[in-house]
Amino acid sequence: MDAVADEMKLLEYAVHQLPPLAVKQLIAHQVCVRCIFRLFNIHEGIYALICPTTLYAIIEKATEVEAATTESSQKSEVKSSICSVCLGVMQFSYRDQKDMLVEKDHAGDFAMTVAESVKEKYHEITSFTLEVSLPTLITENESVILSYMKKKYASEVWFQEKFSFEQIITVKDALKLSITHSLETLLGVKSSVSDFRIRLTYEHVDATSAENKTGKKQYNKRIKSGSNGFVKCNNEAMQSGDVSDSNFQMKKVGQPCHMTLTCSTEPVYIGGRYLKLSRNVSQTRWIIDDERKGDASVEELIGENILPVCKGDGYKFHAAGREDIDVRMLGSGRPFLIEIQNACRLPSEASIKEMEKKINSLESNLIRVKHLKILGSQGWSLMREGEAEKQKQYAALVWISRSISDADLEIVSSFKDLKVLQRTPIRVLHRRSPLDREKIIHWMKIEKIGGSSQYFLLHLCTHAGTYIKEFVHGDLGRTHPSIGSILGCRAEILQLDVTDVKMDILNE
């Protein structure tokens, strides 16, 4: 209580130094009491925690402002009149998303409303960053006010000695300073540079209309924003003092701003390796002409079982390369990341294991996952680099138009780091640019199939991005050399499996 009393004394003393006539003029132009304190560089934050009626009484007593109305009607006017500068922001009055008028007496009440909205959805935050977005009309009107005061009172001693335009704190920063401490107390965490952002967006119909009519932001002519959140007035406007009394006509604001509260977090990345066991499952959703292709997708089978645990708004699926819908992904599996957007909950190690168990026990038995873990955002960058640079191994069931010989086995296995030129395959020309790409076949070997002379298994290790099907059949000469051209016969691929994707970021 003593601390509050001391701050009140400081506030009353600071207000006692204000020039009564200037204060009376500002009140007449519907500038709220908190903005008056702000414009006169009274930085004692206690004024944000006191109701406007009490503040008005303090400023009336200290400056001997003559009251033209009774006390009861005066209180009503102070409560209902929307500030022509802050548009209600520093009065803690706004219209919510349902267009309902919300009025709070002081910063603590407003901070309580913000904190309750945050805690409704987010239960595990370790810190927060407060962001505020305001309509440009606030800055425009403030520029007019400051120019008016420059013209009106520049010759006054108090103006020359105490009034500093460069030190006026902006509405945005005044709001932040007013509620940040209360938010820290209510949320139980500190404000800092954080991945969790609380954003208050204020919009005003009058501000939108003004911008649409002018086609540009007029305030750029008058002011520029300085560092540390202070307003610096344009020298030309300030020196000329070109705002006369007759020009001092700010549009009266009948309603406060609409305020929208949104919270966001940096994405949560959960990575691992997946195995695709079916030849009728696409890697991502595949819908053509409103018709779904395949039984399901790896993206959905994984993402829709992870998203609910993290309580996020949505997810994105990223993988180190891709396989066709009819190609299985076996062996060590393909590295992938699920990017959970705006996650309300960071999963624990135990819940990660439960995710993996749940996905692997799906009745469809279409996919498997392993080595699930939380990764930083750098995992995404490293995986993208690996997609283009790493090696991948395949096993293909191949048919050729003649019998396979022992010499064929030796010829194929003799190639090391074979350079292959691949023109964009015909089957993907509708969605890929027609380019020539040089790829490398690091090694190959043929495994005979007992009882068959024209069928064999081709095992090969290639540079990432190699079109394996085209390397086998040649794609009408668009891939050269090919298995068909090497063996001097027609070759067709019947089945293809990916057996290994080497990548450091998600190695076992």
Here the tokens at position 75 are 């209180």
User: Could you give the CA distance from residue 290 to residue 72 in angstroms, rounded to a whole number?
Assistant: 66
pLDDT of 213-253, one tens digit each?
444 444 344 334 433 333 344 434 334 444 444 455 666 67
Say what angle helices 136-153 and 205-214 make with each other, to 10 degrees: 80
Asked whether the CA dihedral 478, 483, 486, 489 is positive or negative, the reply is negative
Which residues are part of the catalytic machinery?
A: 324
The amino acid occupying position 487 is L
pLDDT < 50 stretches in the chain? 66-76, 78-79, 208-246, 508
Select 268-388's CATH number: 3.30.70.2510, 1.10.1060.10, 3.90.660.10, 3.40.50.10860: 3.30.70.2510
Range(s) within the chain of domains with CATH label 3.30.70.2510: 268-388
> What is the fold of 391-500?
Alpha-Beta Plaits (3.30.70)
What is the model's pLDDT at position 62? Answer: 64
The amino acid occupying position 494 is L
Range(s) within the chain of domains with CATH label 3.30.70.3190: 391-500
Nearest CA among 244, 241, 327 for reference residue 283: 327
The CA-atom distances, in angstroms, between 366 and each of 286, 297, 298, 498 are: 16, 9, 8, 15
Here the tokens at position 483 are 């298995």
pLDDT of 20-53, one tens digit each?
888 888 888 889 888 988 888 776 566 777 777 7
What is the model's pLDDT at position 449? Answer: 93
Nearest CA among 116, 114, 75, 72 for reference residue 92: 114
